[in-house]
Every structure is written in structure tokens, then in C-alpha cells.
Amino acid sequence: MTEESGIEFQALNDSSNLYLQIVSDDDDARALLSGKYRQDFTIWFLDPDGKKRAWGARVPFSQMSASGDNASAVELEMVSMMGIDVSTSPLPDGVQIKAALSGKELMYGLQVPLAMLQPASNGKVPFDFVSSPVSEDIQRRSARPQSTSGGQDAGGAGSGGTSGRAGHGGKGGGKGGSGHNTPGETTPPGPLNLKLTLHLAARLTQNE
């Protein structure tokens, strides 16, 4: 397990799937993973050399209306690079993202078939965790005193399989500033661009 910017990552795999758990560990991470400020976040899987994003799974909280849709109703997306553009499509069969509460911490479980990954020869799989900036409209509204809090309680996260290890190779972006707010004001978290690496355990072969 590794922790970056208040978010914990843990990777497991069996002979068929990767299971990646993403857990909030501070207020900014809870706000991000709950969709409180309608920031999208994406888990991008990279080519083996770690230089190019191949495809990703996105939670598009920006699709929530200003009236405050239930975050669990957001339609999850698969994203892929088309030159410098990003194309979106429904998640393919076998890829699942589920959210749950573990005590007061919000947790996401991502399940991905190993056949969709491109690990290096040493079993390393580079990936990025990226979140979008908070929109100007949301920033203006968050500057006013408020007492609401984000959160959701959906299905359980993926688990099980052979243990692997999650490591990191640096990070970009950062959290929201910690300026001197007046009482009741909140400071939304800034965008994140975390660069990490997970290590697949030896793939098990199924007896025929």
C-alpha cells in the first residue's frame, strides 16, 4: 500500500483480474472521492514504458447537475487517447468500479481484467491518478458559508486474489491552498496528477 495526497492505494491480483483499492485518508480526499466539488477523477493505465496513457476509467462527477444529483447515479466512463484528444465510451465488460464506506473513509474498488493491461516484463504496471480542477462556479459557491458534506454509499469494492504491491514514481499537481479563510468558508482541493506503479504478483495458470 502507498499513500499520496491523502489517498491510499492498494493493488491485488489473481489469475484473471487486477483489483485496485482507492481509499480517502483526509478531508480533501473525501471531498474528491465523494464528488462534493464535482471534480472528475480518472485512473489512467499507461504503456509499459510509462510514457503514454493507453486507457482509463473515469468517474465523471462534473456530469452532476447543480441541484445535486446522487453521486451514485453518475455514469462511469472508459477514456482513451486519440492523438491529443480524449474519447469516451461505456466501461467494457469486466471493468467495474464500486464505492463503499469503510468507517468514515470512502473507498473505491476497481476491477480490471489482466488481459486489458500491458505490464512490463518485471510485472510493473504504471498508472496515473488524475483529478480535474474545481469549476469557477463551484469555487464561487464554496466560498460562501455552507454545512453540507459530500458522500455516498454504494456497492462493495473489489477484493481478493493474490497479493501485489503498489508503489509510486512521483506525483504532480497538489491540494487546494490553505489560505486564511473566514469562518464557514471552505477551500476546494486542487487538481491531482499522481504517477504510480503497481506490481503484479506472478500470474497463476489454470489447470485444464
- Going from the C-alpha of 44 to that of each of 12, 20, 58, 135, 196, the distances in angstroms are 17, 12, 8, 22, 10
Q: What is the model's pLDDT at position 143?
A: 73
Confidence of residue 168 (pLDDT cuts 50, 70, 90): very low
This prediction has a pTM of 0.76
Type of residue numbered 21: Q
> CA 2, 195, 202 angle in degrees (round to 5)?
60
Rounded to an integer, the average pLDDT of 56-85 is: 82
Q: What is the model's pLDDT at position 144?
A: 62
Q: Of all residues in the chain, what percent are helix, strand and coil, respectively (each to 5)?
A: 10, 40, 45
Q: What is the model's pLDDT at position 63?
A: 87
Q: Give the total residue count for the chain.
A: 208
Residue 184 vs residue 163, higher pLDDT: 184
Confidence of residue 138 (pLDDT cuts 50, 70, 90): confident
* Side-chain-facing half-sphere of 176: CA atoms under 13 Å: 23
Residue whose entry in the numeric block shows the C-alpha cell 446522487? 70
Rounded to an integer, the average pLDDT of 29-39 is: 93
pLDDT at 177 over 80: no
Averaged pLDDT of the chain: 79
Confidence of residue 202 (pLDDT cuts 50, 70, 90): low
Q: What is the model's pLDDT at position 121?
A: 87
CA atoms of 142 and 146, how far apart (whole Å): 7
Confidence of residue 145 (pLDDT cuts 50, 70, 90): low
